[in-house]
């Protein structure tokens, strides 16, 4: 009888854990959780996150750019300087229509050459989506303006995600997956089975 009660209690706890995980919102994670490279000096900083979505591992990278207050007016100015500081990074802008339009981002990480270009002819509807958010926050917001019209705000993260086709369901860079509740239930079931065999 005691064995049955213990097994029932364990199973109830596992079920409650799975239900709680499924019904509660995912734990908030900062959009900048890992910094791959840091450049510049100064008391202020911003972050750049690029997601090439090219299937290579890793397919994204995060830079921290330090600077003195007032050093940059726009995100475009900061990107130009970051490119000068990191010789492996290259931004390609089109200025035929006035304001710089981002066409390509290339980076050599020493293992892979990441290069996504919206003008390479693969799909004329490919584009780079532009995002921003607090570096310590958990939410990206798609920008409604270009990089030259977006002012630099210390502590902000600016993200670029390559979109393989023009659509309204663009993906923010470095998306954090939801917890896998099926895996959690399977693990819990395994623990329950192990306890039952021991009893």
d(CA 49, CA 33): 11
Predicted confidence at residue 61, as pLDDT, reads 95
* Model pTM above 0.75: no
Q: Look at strands 156-163 and 44-51 and give their pairing.
A: parallel
- Spell out the domain ranges in the chain: 37-163
In the CATH scheme, what is the code of domain 37-163?
2.170.130.30
d(CA 177, CA 171): 12
Predicted confidence at residue 87, as pLDDT, reads 97
What is the greatest pairwise CA distance in the chain? 81
Taking only the tens place, the pLDDT of each residue in 49-85 is 999 988 888 889 999 999 999 999 999 999 999 999 9
């Amino acid at each position: 009888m005691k064995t049955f009660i213990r097994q029932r209690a364990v199973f109830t706890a596992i079920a409650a854990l799975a239900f709680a995980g499924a019904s509660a919102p995912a734990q908030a994670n900062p959009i900048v959780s890992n910094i791959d490279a840091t450049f510049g000096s100064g008391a202020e900083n911003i972050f750049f996150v690029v997601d090439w979505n090219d299937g290579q591992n890793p397919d994204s990278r995060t830079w921290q750019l330090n600077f003195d207050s007032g050093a940059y007016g726009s995100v475009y100015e900061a990107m130009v300087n970051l490119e000068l500081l990191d010789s492996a990074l290259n931004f390609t802008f089109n200025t035929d229509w006035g304001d710089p339009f981002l066409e390509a981002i290339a980076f050599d990480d020493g293992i892979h050459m990441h290069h996504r270009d919206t003008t390479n002819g693969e799909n004329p509807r490919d584009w780079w989506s532009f995002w921003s958010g607090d570096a310590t926050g958990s939410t990206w917001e798609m920008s409604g303006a270009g990089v030259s019209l977006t002012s630099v705000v210390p502590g902000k993260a600016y993200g670029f995600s390559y979109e393989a086709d023009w659509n309204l369901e663009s993906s923010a860079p470095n998306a954090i997956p939801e917890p896998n509740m099926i895996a959690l239930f399977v693990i819990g079931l395994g623990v329950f089975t192990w306890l039952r065999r021991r009893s």
